[in-house]
Amino acid sequence: MGFSEICNTGLVLGLGLSSTNEPKSEKPILKLSEPSLALSLSGDLRYDRTVKKVVNISDQTDKLYRQDSTVTSLSNLSVKRDRELGNEEGDIERVCSRFIDEDDEGSNGRKKLRLTKVQSALLEESFKQHSTLNPKQKQELAGELHLRPRQVEVWFQNRRARTKLKQTEVDCEYLKKCYGSLTEENRRLQKELQELKAQKLAQPFYMAATLSMCPSCERIGGGGGKVPAKSPFLITPKPHFYSPFANPPATC
DNA sequence: CCTCGAGCTCGTATTACATCA
DNA sequence: CTTGATGTAATACGAGCTCGA
């Protein structure tokens, strides 16, 4: 990865936290999984955040899933046992039963589904092909995985967020390395400057010769523009102004 | 054309639950 | 058994876009 690519990531390093969200304490609290609301949602009525009212969603398949994330919980033991034993054959059945039983849940806050290895693998595979889904793809994948489209959508959202976070961490490490090597370069140049100044003071008649020795490359350089263009002494001065954009350090 | 509202998806921050050491 | 850390599914919300009236 080149430095210019890093610069295109939109990565911004800063100390402040940016948040457009209002303080949580000021948020209107509305959780459909709360008992008082869940009781009224067992039928086809559901709260729609977009219209801020309870609506009939019997014909809105995707919306059906939007606000209802709660699933029937299974005992932790059985899930753990399945995972430990690599029991994937029961996965689909388990998820199906959760799906079907969703309506009899909701009396005790949200429960969290753990995706099975098979489901995760399929989602990952799909994510590799395209990090976003169109509605048809979402529907198909949801059907294949026996999940709700909303769950697939959420998984992709979270997956994108994780990918971005990881990339940001990588970028951050890269920039740290660049910072380190630039600091080192700066230190070296400062030292070189000190040496040049000391040399200049020690050799007061040195300038008369219009030639100088660069201590870093130990080559003779011209002075005062008096050296002919084709002179064997003419050198391309080493760029002392370091540009990380044009010339990233070897350590990066 | 322009405007407005609805509907949708996305990114982001946050919460809450499951799991593990 | 308890507890803190970690991973992640789910929620909340604002922004941007499209589309039809």
A82, A90 Cβ separation under 8 angstroms: yes
The pLDDT value recorded for residue A214 is 61
Closest nucleotide over all strands to A111 (CA to C1'): B17
The pLDDT value recorded for residue A96 is 40
Residue A109 is assigned to a structural domain of this protein: yes
Residue A52 is assigned to a structural domain of this protein: yes
Spanning CA of A114 to C1' of C8, the rounded length in angstroms is 9
Residue A57 is assigned to a structural domain of this protein: yes
In tens digits, chain A (252 residues) has pLDDT values of: 433 333 333 333 333 333 333 333 333 333 333 333 333 333 333 333 333 333 333 333 343 344 333 333 333 333 343 444 444 444 444 444 344 344 433 334 567 788 999 999 999 999 999 999 999 899 999 999 999 999 999 999 999 999 998 888 888 888 989 999 999 999 999 999 999 999 988 876 655 555 555 656 655 554 444 444 444 344 344 444 434 344 444 445
The pLDDT value recorded for residue A113 is 84
Buried b (16+ CB within 10 A) or exposed e, A63-88: bbbbbbbbbbebeeeebeebeeeeee
Residues 128-157 of A with CB under 7 A from strand C: 150-151, 154-155, 157
CB atoms near residue A140 (< 10 Å): 15
Residue whose Cα is closest to the C1' of B10? A157
Whether CB of A136 is under 7 Å from strand B: the answer is no
Residues 26-85 of A with CB under 7 A from strand B: 50-51, 60, 62-63, 73, 76, 79-80, 83
As for how many domains chain A has, the answer is: 1
Structural domain span for residue A36: 29-113
Residue A230 is assigned to a structural domain of this protein: no
Spanning CA of A65 to C1' of C10, the rounded length in angstroms is 12
A229, A213 Cβ separation under 8 angstroms: no
The pLDDT value recorded for residue A192 is 96
Q: If phi over 0 gives left and psi between -120 and 50 gives alpha, with beta otherwise, what is residue A206?
A: alpha
Residue A238 is assigned to a structural domain of this protein: no
Nucleotides of B under 7 A from a protein CB: 6-20
The pLDDT value recorded for residue A235 is 39
Residue A228 is assigned to a structural domain of this protein: no
Residue A130 is assigned to a structural domain of this protein: no
* pLDDT tens digits for range A206-226: 555 555 556 566 555 544 444
Spanning CA of A245 to C1' of C10, the rounded length in angstroms is 41
Structure tokens belonging to residue A68: 């209802």
Whether CB of A163 is under 7 Å from strand B: the answer is no
